[in-house]
Chains A and B, each alone.
Chain A
Amino acid sequence: MSAAHPDSSAQRHTEAQLLALRALYASLPRLECQRLCHGSCGPIVMSALEWDRLAERHGERACDDDLVCPHLERDSGLCGAYEVRPLICRLWGATERLTCAFGCRPERLLTDAEVEALVSRVEALSGGEPRSVWPGWARYLEAARHNERP
């Protein structure tokens, strides 16, 4: 089912984890997108499983200093990795805290509790440390940990 791996890290996860991830995504609301919100495509964070899935198809990419998501196709304003975009992108515009500034709304916004449940499900499914297209993420995370436990 999968294409050749451009990056060996993609093999750390099993087919079963990827199948389960797809089954979970199938429960998420989708928006009739007007393709106006690409200004929001920033230094996103995702589970290790989603990182590997993305990297498998599109390689491991990192933000430039402008912190725009490296998978955004700047000319068209479209996502270059739409099929394998992670949970955070799928939740954009669909939850009470991440409403779309351009008015796209699903039939019902997901509540905080539902979002938390989804995030923890993906984390449990993935295991490992979350990853980000922003190279400073790991350092940021480390600093945050130190702040929590001085």
Chain B
Amino acid sequence: MAAMSGSVLNLARHCLEARALDPSSAGRTAFTFAHSYTDAALDESWTYAEVWERVQRVGRGLLAHGLRPGDRVLVRLPHSPEYAFAFFGANVAGLVPIPASPQLTSEEAAFLRADADAAAVITTPELRLEGFAGVEVLADELARLDGPGLLPATAPEDPAFLIYTSGTTARPKGVLHAQRSVLGRALMRDAWEGFGPQDVTLHAGTLNWSYTLGVGLMDPWAAGAHAVLFGGDYDPAGWPRLVARLGVTVFVAVPTVYRQLLKYGLPEGPAALESLRHGLCAGEALPPSLLEEWRERTGRDLYESLGMTEVSTYISSGPATPVRTGSPGRPQPGRRVAILPVEGDPTPLPPGETGLLAVHRSDPGLMLGYWRRPEEEAAVFRGEWFAGGDLAALDADGYLWFHGRADDVIKSFGYRLSPIEIEAALASCPGVAEVAVVGQAIDEAKTLVTACVVRNPDAATPVEEADLARHAEAHLAGYKRPHVYRFVDSLPRTANGKVQRRVLLEQLSDAPA
């Protein structure tokens, strides 16, 4: 494949090889996996040369098992350094790693294995798939893995990895990314992350997530930085200790982690995060109140980015794009982003109008397609554009204002309402800790806008329905105001911190009114 196109590109090689073979950077630390926030003796670290050597050996060892370029390899491992070596090792051999969460049930993992027709599984004795007749590689073998063959050349359009997303469908679908996706990531580095060779990055996520694989490892490596991941017992108060211990300059997490950090983990005073230059967040919308509190208490910026599994992040604030509260930022320079009408001819809408957020098909970060899901793939490619179902508007300055998922949109009494917009308005009501808004269908014709509110336990007086209604009146047009307020103890969230509106709806319909 590579020979035909004449062009050679491999994601892992692109991130690692040049620095690994350059004596001025080969000996620099590329990767630290901290097993404890405080105990340095439990850290595992590798230089650029060591990571590259190990990744190549794993790749060659996988090929020696009889696997061939293009074969899918399910990575079902706990969050660990081996996860990284398995993922990048498979990629460098032209294989297609599928990062899976160790939390998946056997049934869910077996579905991924079968759906992807994976020829191999990299796993542990505890997580092995019963009845799987293909190649099985255990985590313990990875350190010794090697093979005699040459690593094949891969081309920009060759598959690089396959990542499953629950998305909007009942069964997870595989998003197939190309080796060229690493070129799309370079645009993120400049516009959002601001990573450079002197940086020490700390990503709070686990490696089964594309956010962690990308922003936690690929991007710091491609920038020559020192990438730190954490795999010990979770404690929000631990992050500042780890930041101080390793001199972390950029912290990366989801808004939920920032929220917990501010609530339970951040010591008072300017020295708390002394080494930190800025924070990065993605995965869910950053509530303006959280951004303000973070800036106030740390004196640092927090750059948000909007992305999706199919393109990674493409809209962001960053060192050169000042934060505008409530907006995730502007399209990253080098990307073609447009707002398309929800239905009909895919001609971009003018600034200010809300429609489907779309990325041009020429974007190097865009997926090759959905794995063996032609119908779902046809639904997201519209002419020259990929539109994944996010609703948004671009303002005159190019900043993006997010209005939720097209399928989260509440159609109530003839209006199309964005839950995000209503949530943002209610979140600023005193006494509200968190809020999620859903459309509850009470019969075929009527859908009520229901706001589910988590009270702030520290508030002087508990917020009541009348307070919320008054607040909505002051901040929202009449048709946007919730019809029903419900108080809940917590909001159902995914492992990545996203509010699960569907689960919330089910809980509401199960609970007495």
Which chain B residue shows the least CB distance to A126?
B23
Residues of A within 8 A of B53 (CB): 19, 22-23, 26
Q: Is A27 in contact with B151, judged by CB distance below 8 angstroms?
A: yes
* Interface window among A29-37, A62-70, A139-147: A29-37
In Å, the complex CA distance between A30 and B149 comes to 7
In Å, the complex CA distance between A23 and B48 comes to 9
Q: Is A19 in contact with B49, judged by CB distance below 8 angstroms?
A: yes
Q: Is B52 in contact with A23, judged by CB distance below 8 angstroms?
A: yes
From the candidates B50, B56, B149, name the one contacting A19 in the complex (CB within 8 A). B50
Residues of B within 8 A of A20 (CB): 20-23, 26-27, 49
Q: Mark B38-55, 1 if CB is under 8 A from A, else 0.
A: 000000000111101100
A14 adjacent to chain B (CB < 8 Å): yes
B150 adjacent to chain A (CB < 8 Å): yes
Chain B: minimal CB distance from A116 (Å): 15
Q: How many chain B residues touch A (Cβ–Cβ < 8 Å)? A: 22
Chain B: minimal CB distance from A119 (Å): 13
Q: Mark B230-268, 1 if CB is under 8 A from A, else 0.
A: 000000000000000000000000000000000000000
B455 adjacent to chain A (CB < 8 Å): no
In Å, the complex CA distance between A16 and B399 comes to 45
A108 adjacent to chain B (CB < 8 Å): yes
Q: Mark A103-137, 1 if CB is under 8 A from B, else 0.
A: 00011101000000000010001000000000000
Chain B: minimal CB distance from A29 (Å): 5
B24 adjacent to chain A (CB < 8 Å): yes
Chain B: minimal CB distance from A85 (Å): 16
In Å, the complex CA distance between A23 and B49 comes to 5
Q: Is A26 in contact with B52, judged by CB distance below 8 angstroms?
A: yes
Which of B53, B56, B149 counts the most chain A CB atoms within 10 A? B53
Residues of B within 8 A of A31 (CB): 148
Which chain A residue shows the least CB distance to B46?
A19
> Considering the complex, which residues of chain B in the window 6-48 have a beta carbon less than 8 Å from any beta carbon of chain A?
20-28, 47-48
In Å, the complex CA distance between A11 and B62 comes to 36
In Å, the complex CA distance between A109 and B52 comes to 22
A17 adjacent to chain B (CB < 8 Å): yes
A15 adjacent to chain B (CB < 8 Å): yes
Which chain B residue shows the least CB distance to A29?
B150
B57 adjacent to chain A (CB < 8 Å): yes
From the candidates B28, B56, B150, name the one contacting A23 in the complex (CB within 8 A). B56
Residues of B within 8 A of A14 (CB): 23, 27
Tell whether A110 pairs with B27 under 8 Å between CB atoms, given A16-B47, A19-B47: no
Q: Mark B82-107, 1 if CB is under 8 A from A, else 0.
A: 00000000000000000000000000
A24 adjacent to chain B (CB < 8 Å): yes
In Å, the complex CA distance between A29 and B27 comes to 24
Which of B20, B50, B151 counts the most chain A CB atoms within 10 A? B20
Q: Is A30 in contact with B26, judged by CB distance below 8 angstroms?
A: no
> Considering the complex, which residues of chain A in the window 41-71 have a beta carbon less than 8 Å from any beta carbon of chain B?
none
Residues of A within 8 A of B48 (CB): 23
In Å, the complex CA distance between A17 and B47 comes to 12
Tell whether A106 pairs with B149 under 8 Å between CB atoms, given A16-B49, A23-B49, A26-B56: yes
In Å, the complex CA distance between A24 and B22 comes to 10
From the candidates A15, A19, A107, name the one contacting B150 in the complex (CB within 8 A). A107
Chain B: minimal CB distance from A101 (Å): 19
Chain A: minimal CB distance from B160 (Å): 19
- The contact sample of 19 A-B pairs, CB cut-off 8 A, is A16-B26, A16-B49, A17-B26, A19-B26, A19-B27, A19-B47, A20-B21, A20-B49, A23-B52, A26-B52, A26-B53, A26-B57, A28-B150, A29-B148, A29-B149, A106-B149, A107-B148, A107-B149, A108-B149
* Known pairs A23-B56, A121-B21 / 5 extra A-B pairs, C-beta < 8 Å: A20-B23, A20-B49, A27-B151, A29-B148, A107-B150
